[in-house]
Amino acid sequence: MGKGKQMRRRIVLIEHNMTERLANKTRLAAAGYAVDAYERPPARIEGAGLVVFAAPRGGAVAQRCGAVRALAAQSPLLVIAPPDAAGEAYLSGADQVVAPDAPPALLLARCRAAMSSPRPAEAARQAAGFAEPAAAGFAHRRCAALVRIGAGGDVRAGLAAAGYHVRLMSAGDLLAATPREEWPDLIALAAAPGEADRLIALVAALRQQMNEAPRSCAIVAVLPRCAADHEAVLLDVGAGEVLFDDQLGGDGGSATSLRLRAAQRRAQLIARQHARALEEQQLATQDPLTGLYNRRYLMPRLEAALYGSAGGAVLVLDLDRFKAINDRHGHAAGDAVLQEVGAILSAAAGAAFDAARMGGEEFVLLMPAAAEAEAVALAEHIRARICGRPITVPGLSGNMQLRVTASVGVAAFGPGHAGDAASVLAAADRALIKAKRAGRNLVLLAREGPAGRHVMAGTVAPICA
């Protein structure tokens, strides 16, 4: 098997009808997927990027879909089933459902949508009662916002019959909503005939907004039947579900209700996965005690600044006699000192610079594009803030106040610096060590000399009284 073929996502296709099986296998393979086709479900399904199951005509849809869902517990499931059986398919665990006579482009769009769904194991965990609590405002009610594009179909009755409290909104108000505002569980965007392009643009804008600030909100596009050829595009640009206005024109229907609930559930799980990914990224790049960045985050950014065209500077700060604080007053007192110093550094860094705790009582401030004089001035400001007021810490017999000082080494670098991140940090660290030897509570500058080498300059800043 060639290397390119190994990289293709694998689809398991289960289709009893041989003609349809060969046709769908050809369509999927032409789209770049590696397809394993079966007449009946295999004994085991493992490692599939997607399972496509053509439900048999003539009943038992729920039972057959449930059996395939159990076999493919770790893979998304797309069910090919007629519209009147779509509800049973969703109830049995389908991530997407497509009609047997759907155009090939729609089949592929539904495949892509299913593969972007959260892992079924996550959905099963939620169903079993192990999920985190729902976000505030979403636990005991379902709200839908309806945006009518070009006087699109009034589908309020259908949404209400599906169990949603409906309120009308404009597209402008929806796009202007801030991440902190409470969003509805579902947004229905209903387009009038001839307004499909505006609908596609609005879905894409909303999806981009939600990608930047994930929300547990499903986007449902509602089309007139005459615009059915836009269904695949809407799924690709980010719609969680696409319905036709006649499906929501009256009482909604149980199948339609289930499709809406399934879209809402997928949106909630996707938002939860986004939140987990952000949390994991934060844990990987952030110091948990101070909230500053850590070495893993800082080093690549220092390398980028070194090879940039604007130069910059680094400050290496170390608390003076910090071990004595831990030894005399306990580690809780030491942690309180570190947190306070972290807050001072964070305030000094602002949005322009990056502050990191490198380990123990050592901190680094990266100042891209900063001049040497600016770096020295900021280092002195930080040093003065730390020693200028006592820090309240927990003691063995209650809260107490400690005075803390810090020594700072500064190393500036010009555009296209010849050294690497380690060499610049080493220069600032040597300046820091000399500041310690000179009496502590000092700022010392390592000035860049010929060929990018750093040499020691003088001390700045008086010792705090």
Q: What does 390-417 look like in DSSP terms, one character per residue?
A: -EEEEETTEEEEE---EEEEEEEE-TT-
Neighbours of 300 (CB within 10 A): 10
User: Which pLDDT does position 13 carry in this prediction?
Assistant: 97
Angle at which helices 104-115 and 18-30 pack, to 10 degrees? 70
pTM: 0.64
Task: Render the burial of 452-463: b for 16+ CB within 10 Å, e for the rest.
Answer: bebeeeebbbee
Q: What is the pLDDT of residue 443?
A: 96
Specify the pLDDT at position 91.
87
Task: Give tens-digit pLDDT for 149-191.
Answer: 987 777 888 898 888 999 999 888 888 876 666 788 899 999 9
pLDDT digits (tens, 9 = 90+) for 346-384: 999 999 999 999 999 999 999 999 999 999 999 999 999
Q: 125-134, 198-207, 369-378 — which is least confidently predicted?
A: 125-134
- Tell which residue, 279, 175, 158, 272, has the closest CA to residue 219: 175
Q: Is the pLDDT of residue 19 over 60?
A: yes
Average pLDDT, integer, range 76-95: 90
Q: What is residue 462's predicted lDDT score, i.e. its pLDDT?
A: 40
For the segment 55-75, the average pLDDT, to the nearest whole number, is 87
pLDDT in tens, 417-460: 777 899 999 999 999 999 999 999 999 999 755 444 444 444 44
State the pLDDT at residue 140. 43
Instruction: Give the pLDDT confidence score for residue 280 in this predicted structure.
Output: 83
**pLDDT value of position 253:** 60
> For residues 173-186, b (16+ Cβ closer than 10 Å) or e, as one string?
ebeebeeeeebbbb
